């Protein structure tokens, strides 16, 4: 059973960089897209970006200038960096696996972490 677990600081100061890691267990990170999604308190879901295991990336245009997603296949981890954060970036951050066309379509997210709450505050 594939499992994902987010880790990282729960508090980030304004203007600094948010850094999170997602550790994947129970399956290989190769041949899939890996996703970051966030959810502000009481609000909906926002797709942040994705990385394929080979290293290609795509980002939400509204965040593109501040986002970097990277993958480390040797440790089965992938990471999110979001720079110049403001209070508007306070949210529950999820990592997830994209089905990637393997057993369901690209763009469907079949495994999720439990989420990590990141608060931007001084």
Pick 13 or 64: Cβ nearer other proteins = 64
Shortest reach from residue 91's CB to other proteins, in Å: 13
Shortest reach from residue 105's CB to other proteins, in Å: 6
CA atoms 121, 60, 75, 33: torsion sign: positive
Pick 15 or 117: Cβ nearer other proteins = 117
Pick 7 or 112: Cβ nearer other proteins = 112
Contact residues: other proteins, CB under 8 A: 33, 43-47, 50, 58, 60-61, 94, 96, 104-110, 112-115
Shortest reach from residue 65's CB to other proteins, in Å: 16
Q: Is residue 38 a contact partner of residue 94, using CB atoms and an 8 Å limit?
A: yes
Shortest reach from residue 106's CB to other proteins, in Å: 6
Q: Are strands 57-59 and 46-52 parallel, antiparallel or unpaired?
A: antiparallel
The closest of 59, 51, 107 to 83, measured between CA atoms, is: 59
Pick 16 or 99: Cβ nearer other proteins = 99
C-alpha triplet 80, 97, 115: angle, nearest 5°: 55
Q: How far is it, in rounded angstroms, from Cα 60 to Cα 45?
A: 12
């Amino acid at each position: 059973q594939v499992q994902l677990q987010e880790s990282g600081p729960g508090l980030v100061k304004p203007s600094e960089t948010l850094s999170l890691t997602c550790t994947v267990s129970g399956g290989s990170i190769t041949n899939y897209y890996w996703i970051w999604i966030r959810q502000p308190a009481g609000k909906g879901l926002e797709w942040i970006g994705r990385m394929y295991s080979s290293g290609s990336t795509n980002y939400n245009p509204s965040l593109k200038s501040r986002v970097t997603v990277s993958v480390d296949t040797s440790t089965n981890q992938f990471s999110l960096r979001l720079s110049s954060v403001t209070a508007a970036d306070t949210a529950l951050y999820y990592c997830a696996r994209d089905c990637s066309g393997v057993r369901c379509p690209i763009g469907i997210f079949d495994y999720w972490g439990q989420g990590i709450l990141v608060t931007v505050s001084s």
